[in-house]
Amino acid sequence: MQDRVEQVVREFVARVKPEAGEVTVETPLYADGVGLDSLEAAELSAVLEDEFGTDPFQGDTMPETLNDIVSFYVTA
Amino acid sequence: MIEFLRRGAQTRPERPAVVTHDLTVSYAELLAMAEGAATALSELGADRIALADHEAAPVIALMAAAAATGVEVCLLPPDGAEQVLDLVGRFDHTVVVTDRDDLPESALPAGVRRVGLAGLLATPAQSAPGDLPAHRPHLVLTTGTTGAPRGVRHDWGRLVRSTAHVQPAGDEHWLLCFGLHQFAGLQVLLHVLAAGATLVAPAPRRPREGLAAMRALGVTHASATPTYWRFLLAELRADGGPVPQLRQITLGGEAVPGPLLGELATTFPDAHVSQVYAASEFGSTGSMRDRRAGLSTAVLERGEDADVALKVVDGELWIRSRTGMVGYYGEPDVDAEEWRPTGDLVAVEDGRLVFLGRSSEIINVGGVKVHPLVIEERIGAVAGVDVARVYGRRNPMTGQIVAVEVVASAGADTTAIDAAIRAACADLPSASRPRSIRFVDEVSTTGSKIVRREAP
């Protein structure tokens, strides 16, 4: 599961933010990290929902890193 | 309505009024059915009936009979028995005319009577036609795309008046692409009968069957939604068969994308291509034949004498129609001189009223209002896209995002299409770019119109 989640997120980042370079599990998704804006985060949320049926952005705490997203699915 | 059948039966009694793959019904035969049914309706004593049947000739005959006697007919959509019974209850009907096996008397609610359609039509006419009643109601149900269906009360006198411009054209064969329960289907029917022409009515009324009927039954004219035409063009590309020799293509019921007008003109080089702007509530506003998307702004300058006038208020089209509905079911009559909002959002560009979408279809992306049609038009022009549906998809970050469902051409590379769609929309404002692209076998439609709202 973890590998699949990481693959989906990295493919998404490679498409919308090719300039972001390598994304580790600790790279911040926004601002100085990957640099996703709110609409790109919204798009990632839809991609994850399509792929896994649920979406970590639906919760109270917004995921800040790839690790947060992985944790959402692994602990779900 | 009945007056058109009487005129047709008098001038050219043998001319086909309705044609299907299985039968041809002449004006004389259709009138005989209608006059007999008028006698039967008078004997029935009901002032309103619900009709649950969809074969064109019997339905037309019964509607004409109702128009002759002042009995209000409500033709129900071709739904299952459960939905039909829901509508019967919702619109307080106590008489259901049908020959459907799944709607026996025992299935109807207490107090609702079942009357066989074939029996009504087989009744011999017992008296010479008299004067038409002053009040001749007809009830059309909306498709319910914005919620529960509403009943729209019309009057045959007004409906017939809206065809005053129609010239006799007995050689025209019009394809029925809408259901006769839809207002657009009713408009096609009235036009055909007013012209003394022939209605070609295959069933079901889908693009595939429509294309087959065009080829087999000599269709020369067809009026359908842009969505219907898109699917018909896709069918035509897929089967590689002969292109029907159409003389007239009419589009209505939805905003018409410019690229589609061009594709139709190329595919059917001998056809006039026109668009109509009409709705159940206000009737037709006329047609545009210049093959450009939208309406000429000249429609805004018709003046007080015109039956139908238009104006733009805060980006929305408003209308005043003297040939439109009498009122909604269960509500008082509307004032025919009153201006009403249409729900259609428009922009004025280069002397055109360009349709942006329905006010109810606006996508709210983080507070930014996005019109789906502009995006849909771009995506529809991408190679390999047969049909696209743009709608607002719920999203926890921004409330909604722009989502698109795509029906791809047979054998097309969806990965390449996905990339091409994103490239085609790359210069749109960020909130307007599709954030969700899904490939589907079919898009959600109601009454051959794309539904641009997310399913609940």
Ordered structural domains, chain B, with CATH: 2-183 (3.40.50.12780), 206-358 (3.40.50.12780), 362-450 (3.30.300.30)
CB nearest B436 (choices: A37, A46, A58)? A46
- Give pLDDT, residue B456: 56
CATH number for the domain spanning A37: value is: 1.10.1200.10
Sign of the dihedral defined by the CA atoms of residues B81, B83, B86, B87, in that order: negative
Could you report the per-residue pLDDT of B349-378, keeping only the tens digit for each? Answer: 888 888 888 888 889 888 788 888 889 989
Catalogue the long-range contacts made by B423-430 (C-beta closer than 8 Å, 24 or more residues apart): B424/B378, B424/B379, B424/B381, B424/B382, B425/B375, B425/B378, B425/B379, B428/B375, B428/B378, B429/B368, B430/A37, B430/A39
Contact B431 A39 (CB under 8 A): yes
DSSP structure string for B328-361: ETTSPPPPTTS-EEEEEEEEEETTEEEEEEEGGG
What ipTM describes this predicted complex?
0.94
Distance separating alpha carbons of residues A64 and A42, to the nearest angstrom: 13
Could you report the per-residue pLDDT of B279-297, keeping only the tens digit for each? Answer: 888 888 877 777 777 888 9
Decide which of B164 and B20 is more confident. B20
Range of the domain at A13: 2-74
Could you report the per-residue pLDDT of B133-185, keeping only the tens digit for each? Answer: 889 999 999 876 556 789 999 999 989 988 888 898 879 999 999 999 999 99
Could you report the per-residue pLDDT of B32-76, keeping only the tens digit for each? Answer: 999 999 999 999 999 999 999 989 999 999 999 999 999 999 999
Percent of chain B with pLDDT over 90: 60
Please choose, from the candidates B10, B4, B113, B104, the residue with its C-alpha nearest in 3D space to the C-alpha of residue B60: B4
Contact A42 B398 (CB under 8 A): yes
Percent of chain B with pLDDT over 70: 97
Query: Chain A residues contacting B, CB < 8 Å?
Result: 37-39, 41-43, 45-47, 50, 55, 57-58
Total domains in the fold of chain A: 1
Backbone angles phi, psi at B357, to 5 degrees: 140, 180
Confidence of residue B15 (pLDDT cuts 50, 70, 90): very high
